[in-house]
A and B are shown apart, each in its own frame.
Chain A
């Protein structure tokens, strides 16, 4: 009982640490890291709710299966988000750089 609450509150705090960092940090990698931390907090709350001491009896396997699904989905989402962040940086650099340099050349030609 106490263990359930201890780990649930740990999950709650971890979730909100991630939530705070998600808003407060500006770097995309940090944001993705914060989302991962948030998901870990949610998983911890789910699994801590299903925990029973060995003397009490069987553990509910349904939250475990859901958390397993969640971990796999969060990994694939992380991978996609990281590639998106890289692409955003690449293309935004180009769009920032190219028109300027072209303009500069044109002005100097003029």
Chain B
């Protein structure tokens, strides 16, 4: 897209509407820039409060403490958003796996064979590291999802016949574990997601592990772009050339 100009009759011309939009956006930039300038930068945030409550959260990393303990609600809903995205994608199409056998280069297969276990290891390490350093369920889950993407890009033939039931269980593991821990806290402490102080670390690790697994599977199935083959068959569009697999 050539910004501000539109090619008409082989001649670049200034588009009046785009120019108008440009001025509108420039006014917005000035306005918001003035607001940004008037913001009090450098005020002490919630860093001190978080640091004072760090001991009670069960982990050493402040971000993980905020993410899973102090603002656990947020993260729980976020995991649900991921689940919702997969539900949306699965309800639209079947995964478009290639129909024919493709000749794969030995280099690619070797790379997949070497990198996939390594990525799973790194993902698990990031989850473990999340309790005291940078890392956590989302980063570890993203690396696991990356391993899934690597397998999907290599178009290994067995991926097509991955059954949908274990996939569904893996997708649900994170939200279910999170929710059951929250319910347990509700029964024990009388508050939703208020972990008992002595076992908070263990609870957070359990939640993180389950969520990382779920996030990894979620991201990989988002990349696959549809539900697996043995799920509900596609009906209603008999001669859909691209929906689902082209046979």
Residues in chain A within 8 A of chain B (CB atoms): 1, 4-5, 8-9, 12-13, 16, 19-21, 23-27, 30, 45, 49-50, 52, 57-66, 68-69, 71-73, 75-77, 79-80, 83-84, 86-87, 90, 94
User: Do B88 and A80 touch across chains, with their CB atoms under 8 A apart?
Assistant: yes
Residues in chain B within 8 A of chain A (CB atoms): 1, 3, 18, 21-22, 25, 28-29, 32-33, 36-37, 39, 41-42, 44-48, 50-51, 62-63, 65-67, 71, 74-75, 78, 81-82, 84-85, 88-89, 92-93, 136, 138, 215, 218-219, 222-223, 225-226, 237, 240-243
User: Do B25 and A19 touch across chains, with their CB atoms under 8 A apart?
Assistant: yes
User: Do A72 and B222 touch across chains, with their CB atoms under 8 A apart?
Assistant: no
User: Do A84 and B82 touch across chains, with their CB atoms under 8 A apart?
Assistant: no
**B215 partner residues in chain A, CB cutoff 8 A:** 72
Q: Determine how close the nearest CB of chain B comes to the CB of A92; give it in whole angstroms.
A: 12
CA distance A45 to B29 in the complex (A): 13
CA distance A94 to B241 in the complex (A): 9
User: Do A25 and B1 touch across chains, with their CB atoms under 8 A apart?
Assistant: yes
Cβ-closest 3 pairs across A and B:
A60-B45, A76-B85, A58-B47
Q: Determine how close the nearest CB of chain A comes to the CB of B220; give it in whole angstroms.
A: 11
CA distance A64 to B61 in the complex (A): 12
CA distance A20 to B32 in the complex (A): 15
* Besides A65-B71, A83-B225, A86-B93, 10 other A-B contacts (C-beta < 8 A): A5-B37, A8-B39, A20-B22, A24-B1, A49-B41, A57-B44, A72-B82, A76-B85, A83-B89, A90-B243
What are 18 A-B contacts with C-beta separation under 8 Å? A4-B41, A8-B36, A8-B41, A20-B22, A50-B45, A60-B47, A61-B46, A61-B47, A61-B63, A64-B63, A68-B138, A75-B219, A76-B85, A79-B85, A83-B89, A84-B92, A87-B243, A94-B241
CA distance A107 to B50 in the complex (A): 75
**A79 partner residues in chain B, CB cutoff 8 A:** 85, 89, 219, 222-223
User: Do A80 and B85 touch across chains, with their CB atoms under 8 A apart?
Assistant: yes
Q: Which among A25, A63, A90 is the interface contact of B240 at CB below 8 angstroms?
A: A90
CA distance A62 to B47 in the complex (A): 8
**B39 partner residues in chain A, CB cutoff 8 A:** 8, 49
